[in-house]
Amino acid sequence: MDQDQNAPLREDVRLLGEELGSVLRGQAGEALFDTVETIRQVAVESRGQGEMPVGKLRELLDPLDDETLLEVARAFSQFLNLANIAELRHRERLRRQHERFPGDPDTDRGLRQVLEELKKSNVAPEQVRQVLADLSVELVLTAHPTEVTRRTLIRKYDQMADLLTGLDRPDCTPEEAERLRRLLREQMLSAWCTDEIRRERPTPVDEAKWGFATIEQSLWQAIPQGMREIEDELALAGIEPLPADWVPIRFASWMGGDRDGNPNVTAKVTRRVLNLARWMAADLYLRDVENLLADLSMHRASEELLAHTGPSHEPYRLLLRAVRDRLRNTRELMEARVNGAAEPKGEVYTSSDELYEPLSLIDRSLREVGLAAIAGGQLKDTLRRLNGFGITLLKLDIRQESTRHATAIDAVTRFLDLGSYAEWGEKVKQKFLLEELESRRPLINGAFYQSEFCTDEVREVLDTCKVIAEQGSEGLGAYVISMARTSSDVLAVMLLQKIAGVREPMRVVPLFETLDDLNNAFDTMHALLEIPFYRERVKAGQEVMIGYSDSAKDAGFLGAAWAQFRAQEALTRIFKEHGIPLTLFHGRGGSISRGGSPTRMALMSQPPGSVAGRIRVTEQGEMIRFKYGRPSVAAYNLEQYIAATLEATLLPPAEPRPEWRAEMDRLTQASVGAYREVVRDDPALVSYLRTVTPETELSRLALGSRPARRKPGGGVETLRAIPWVFAWTQMRLMLPAWLGTGAALETGLENAPDTLRTMSEQWPFFQTVVDMLEMVLAKSDTRVALWYEERLTDDPELQRLGVELRSRLDRTVAALSELTGRESLLDNNPVMRWSIRVRDPYTDPLHLLQAELMARLRTREEDPVLESALMVTIAGIAAGMRNTG
């Protein structure tokens, strides 16, 4: 990106920094401002000289009392959040100008470029249109706790971004600019005077409401806005128009449905979340219909519509009033259910088709009487929203761990004196499950629920299935089985739904997430497809979820990536042989070690044929805000998914060469061995994690409703993938994203350097591995990591491990440099490099503060001021690193 393009971003950063300085002076006094500014200048100067200013910063920080440390932490944390606002705003600016960052992996190929590439490749427009017509992209919003910023502050930051947009207008007068800067200063002052830290852990319902807010404030506008832009691009490319209400994007959620290891998500919670979603959907559609009532005052109408309304001077309003009344009834019903009140009477909407019918009738009438331009306005937007969100707003997935289902079935078999299901072999389990699935008689009656076998744990599983039965299929998505390992794991969930009387069963989706599970995914699904009953049940399509987080924690980044690739290849092949459409559900996170990467890069690195016009992806934590928090940014990211899915379907990458496969097998063998040598075999690793990183302190931060560990105590295996990644990121060692990969690259460069370089140049899968590794290594910093170690431990064993880890990191950087031929990381990505460099002088003091605060807190029982300061450093570093979990 040239200097002219970068200048507005630098100007916004400067402006926001100036305004923050004014707020600091006014609220905290000149003394604190001078302290913060001195620390900042030392960090900037030292970083400019390529040094980590440990000594100088320590001299500045050591004399500060606890209250001052808190205010200093808040100042640097605020600036990092402001830098994120400026960067997000700059991306909006460049998109509006139809400019791109050359060589920036964060910027994907747009739909226009994909359509041009398809034309060059002689793909017929008719074929493009057909693929688009059948395209299915489902984005699953999850409540994984990596979004550390409070919603209150997010709103203020959004308002600041809007004010920057106003200042950026070419016709902005000096008077308007001064007014906007005053408003900006007011928002900044308001943010400064707001507590950055959540003091109470959110409930699953709170998390769901946060997801609903993202839809209300951004995605509700982004869907019609994005679809209009896509429609324009297709017309420009000469593609025949698709149906006016065409929307290939759908939304689902895990918020309030993901009960894997989260005792706070119960059947009662799931029911409440589903009703709240219906309430929100009715409220949003009601706003749309009110606007349509104001606009559709014309009298010309088709005979079809008049047959419904009778003679009228305002037939559209007559019909819309009935729609409005029914939406009000629906909203009131859902409100009563949420509050446990008596349910009001009145006709309500129970399906999307019921709402779609009158709206599409109005659409047909307007077009028939020559008012197509009006039909193409707000009405078209509403119809598209209805296709994207339905009347349930989101489809809620249910996720539960496989052993919970096995325990429930075991309770049933013991109640019926059939023996212990848990002790049966796999073939016996399958036989029993299939017989019961095909049987017409009920398996249990009310007596079971009163028996000793129906424990609270078993009752909760069955109650969840009862919620599925009472809610119907429209508001529900997939039933995901975590830690799925056998065919019986899938059949058990099917039987549990039958026991609960589910008429339209949720599709059952096995999640393969450890290295062994991924390697055995083919055998598990092959065994299921050998069963005629099962094959018949899934003939319309099967969904399989690929886990990125736990597989990487189990085997390291490279080993997990190759296992994921091979599992998808095998699954694609077997479902193609059976003629059953396969949708792969990618359980990605924001960080590299949890599958995070730019959209096009992620999809084009998948095995050829595995996308096939259908994709399902989780959007987690802070990535929801970064990608979908503002309508224009959300519209852009939705376009990216459509463009990338289209490209991966019609222009898939070539099959990897046999020598590349063989080399990947060798590389991953070296990588997994080196990773597990540290994570599994080094007895100091767990102690190092809990002593030198803020892993223990993270539990103090009220991030999400789910516990950080699957069970109390234990080692790394009990720690969830998110805090595992989060802790290493906070102290800049980034271990989960690179450990083992350096050893693999060294092996490859020693034994087959030409093959390795060819892979990095010609194979999208390996290109993605290299590019993502380079980005995460650019964010790592051994000097920062060393300061944590020096301040927090004098244990020789931990120091020995620290030396070893930093040495491995340095060797990984050296091996990557040898492979790419670039002397410095991100030489090919100036935007990302600038983004990291501009943040370093602000994250450096926070890192040093964090280590100091951890040391002080570990010698005191309780100290609210220090605890608050520590939480602020965690939030600030998270803002600076952008993809913490």
The 3-state DSSP class for residue 510 equals strand
Name residues whose C-beta falls within 8 Å of residue 742's C-beta, 6 or more positions apart in sequence: 674, 808, 809, 811, 812, 813, 815, 816
Q: Is 144 a catalytic residue?
A: yes
Residue 379 lies in a domain: yes
Give 10-residue mean pLDDT values along the chain (885 residues): 65 88 91 90 76 75 87 90 84 63 51 94 96 96 64 83 88 92 92 79 85 92 95 94 93 92 92 96 98 95 95 95 98 95 94 97 97 96 96 96 96 96 96 95 91 95 96 92 94 96 95 92 96 95 89 87 94 96 83 61 87 90 81 90 94 94 96 94 94 85 54 60 83 92 95 95 92 88 91 96 96 94 76 76 89 88 85 87 63
Residue 323 lies in a domain: yes
In this structure, which amino acid lies at residue 309? T
With b for 16 or more beta-carbon neighbours within 10 A and e for fewer, the 204-217 pattern comes to bbbbbbbbbebbbb
The pTM is what?
0.89
Q: Are 397 and 252 in contact (CB under 8 A)?
A: yes
Token reading at 846? 């926070």
Give long-range contacts, CB 8 A cutoff, 24+ apart: 15-21. 15/164, 15/167, 15/181, 15/184, 16/79, 16/82, 16/83, 16/85, 16/86, 16/160, 16/184, 16/188, 17/79, 17/82, 19/181, 19/184, 19/185, 19/188, 20/75, 20/78, 20/79, 20/82, 20/188, 20/192
Token reading at 350? 């129970």
Please list the alpha-helical segments (H only) found in 396-473.
Answer: 402-415, 426-438, 446-449, 456-471
Q: Which pLDDT score, from 0 to 100, does residue 602 have?
A: 82
Which structural domain range is residue 281 located in?
Answer: 267-388
Residue 508 lies in a domain: no
Give long-range contacts, CB 8 A cutoff, 24+ apart: 118-125. 118/646, 118/647, 118/650, 118/651, 119/237, 121/650, 121/651, 123/650, 123/651, 125/237, 125/238, 125/239, 125/240
Residue 731 lies in a domain: no
User: What letter would DSSP give residue 104?
Assistant: -
| Count of the separate structural domains present in the chain | 1
Taking the C-alpha atoms of residue 720 and residue 553, their distance in angstroms, rounded to an integer, is 9
The 3-state DSSP class for residue 512 equals strand
Q: Which pLDDT score, from 0 to 100, does residue 616 have?
A: 94
Taking the C-alpha atoms of residue 164 and residue 156, their distance in angstroms, rounded to an integer, is 13
Residue 27 lies in a domain: no
The domain that contains 331 carries what CATH number? 1.20.1440.90
Token reading at 242? 């698709």
Residue 317 lies in a domain: yes
Q: Is 466 a catalytic residue?
A: no
Residue 36 lies in a domain: no
Active-site annotation holder among 209, 405, 553, 847: 553
Taking the C-alpha atoms of residue 730 and residue 720, their distance in angstroms, rounded to an integer, is 16
Q: Which pLDDT score, from 0 to 100, does residue 711 have?
A: 56
Residue 217 lies in a domain: no
Taking the C-alpha atoms of residue 511 and residue 541, their distance in angstroms, rounded to an integer, is 16
